[in-house]
Amino acid sequence: MSLIGRFLVFKTAKILPTLLIFAAMVIVYCLTHKKMLHSTWTLSSLRSTWRQKTLCLQAAESSEHQGKYECKDYSPKMSGKCHVLELFTRIDPTARHYDSEIICDQASSNFDLICRLHLKQIGLQSQQSTICCLDKVDKVPRIVYYVIFGVYQFRLVHYISLRATSRFIAPSAIYVVGDQHPTGKWWRKVLAEVQGVRFLFREIPGNISGLPADIKHLSDIVRLQLLYMNGGIYLDTDTVVLTDLQPLLEHNLTLGLVDNSTGMGNAFIMAKRGNDFIEEWYSHYTKYNKSNYYWNSLQIPQQMWLKNPRRVHMVDKIYRPNWFESELLFNKSGYPWRNNYAVHVWSAPNYPVPEHIKEITSANTTIAEIFRYVLYEDLSTRI
């Protein structure tokens, strides 16, 4: 071996331990880093669970709530061999996710079932809880659902929607149902300011009747499941209610038409528990047609209603201004929205939805007026 060769072997032998130590340090760094990430994640989910527990306990202890709802022994309506879960899983196998012990037990007809599922998820004993009692079973319960799947960053309009729900409906609970917690500062503001908000984890359905599905349609079937199982009020996150919905609680089912050619709207649905129209609508997803985007979700219910109009209490003034009337909502003022039950904040490319409070404080537009009304209880512009 040449002198240079021997020199190299000598040098490598000297460097090798250093290299090994360096490699070990890299491995240790990666491991601790991973552990740090992991513990941050656990901490934040713990914090959120803890927060939800506190809110639930506060609600349970508030005497106002206890006086209002009693767990009366109503005649069982949904008992038997748990028809509900059989119906659901035919189209969506992930509906097994709903706990059959809770959904189908003896007491189920007197309870807000989603509340019991929620309490179980956060580790509170649900059976003995009085906070899950229904106020009445012969009416639409004041329980509101939003369904969100996937990564969901809350925006100003979503915050406004939840603020309006809380203010005008005064629900016993608002369930945000999804496969992951929403994110963003507007969601944090919701948690801080809106009473009775509960996140319910729901596995995302893999398909509809075995066919790959659009994510929008996955939310469509889950909202029908929630309403059929529990009754209540479903709202899209961009639907803003504008009045108390008291007069509508008497009806079996309340819907509104988007327009004759688009079909029935499903951004605002009020239904009593176990409603037969909801059941039939849901059952049509056994013949899911993905290529016709509006078919199962908007056109089937429209046809069902046209066939027998008495089954649905129809209201207009939910979807107006319509998606083809964005001008009236975003760039003009003077639309008589005070007669509406709700407004659907359709987004369209040339009509941006306000994203910041400063965009609504002084704008002379219908949307700004509505947002000011929800937040400040008056319509006037502010400086």
**Where on the chain is the footprint of ligand NAG (CB under 6 A)?**
93-94, 206-207, 210, 252, 260, 276, 289, 291-292, 295, 310-311, 330-334, 350-352, 364
Task: Output the smallest distance, CB 351 to ligand NAG, in A.
Answer: 6
H/E run at residue 241: strand 239-241
- Residue number, 181 or 290, with CB nearest to ligand NAG: 290
Q: Where are the alpha helices (DSSP H) in 62-142?
A: 63-68, 83-91, 100-103, 113-121
Q: How far is the CB of 381 from ligand NAG (least distance, A)?
A: 7
Question: Nearer to ligand NAG by C-beta: 108 or 302?
Answer: 302
Classify the phi-psi angles of 141: left when phi > 0, otherwise alpha if psi is within -120 to 50, otherwise beta.
Answer: beta
- Per the rule left: phi > 0, alpha: psi between -120 and 50, beta: everything else, 317 is left
Q: Which two tokens stand for residue 253?
A: 């089912």
Calpha distance 34→20 (Å, rounded): 21
CB of 203 to ligand NAG, least distance (A): 8
Q: At closest approach, how far in Å is the CB of 216 from ligand NAG? A: 16
Q: Please, which residue, 80 or 206, has the CB nearer to ligand NAG? A: 206
In the complex, minimum distance from the CB of residue 61 to ligand NAG, in angstroms, rounded to a whole number: 36
Is 73 or 250 the residue whose CB approaches ligand NAG more closely? 250
Residue type, position 238, single letter: D
Closest-by-Cβ residue to ligand NAG is 206
Query: How far apart, in whole angstroms, are the C-alpha atoms of residue 176 and residue 197?
Result: 7
249 Cβ neighbours under 8 A, 6+ residues apart: 139, 140, 142, 270
The nearer residue to ligand NAG, 122 or 298, going by C-beta atoms, is 298
Strand partners, 147: 177
Q: Which amino acid is at 304?
A: M
- Quickly tell me which residue has 């939805």 as its tokens: 353
Backbone φ and ψ of 183, nearest 5°: -130, 175
Quote the least distance from Cβ 151 to ligand NAG, whole Å.
19
Peptide linkage before 321 cis (omega within 30 of 0): yes
Taking the complex as a whole, the smallest distance from the CB of residue 330 to ligand NAG amounts, in Å, to: 5
Strands 197-201 and 173-178: parallel
Q: Which residue, 122 or 229, has its beta carbon nearer to ligand NAG?
A: 229
Shortest Cβ 331–ligand NAG spacing (Å): 4
215 Cβ neighbours under 8 A, 6+ residues apart: 149, 150
Q: Which residues pair with 176 in a beta bridge?
A: 146, 199
**Residue 39 vs 364, nearer CB to ligand NAG:** 364
Nearer to ligand NAG, 90 or 189 (CB): 90
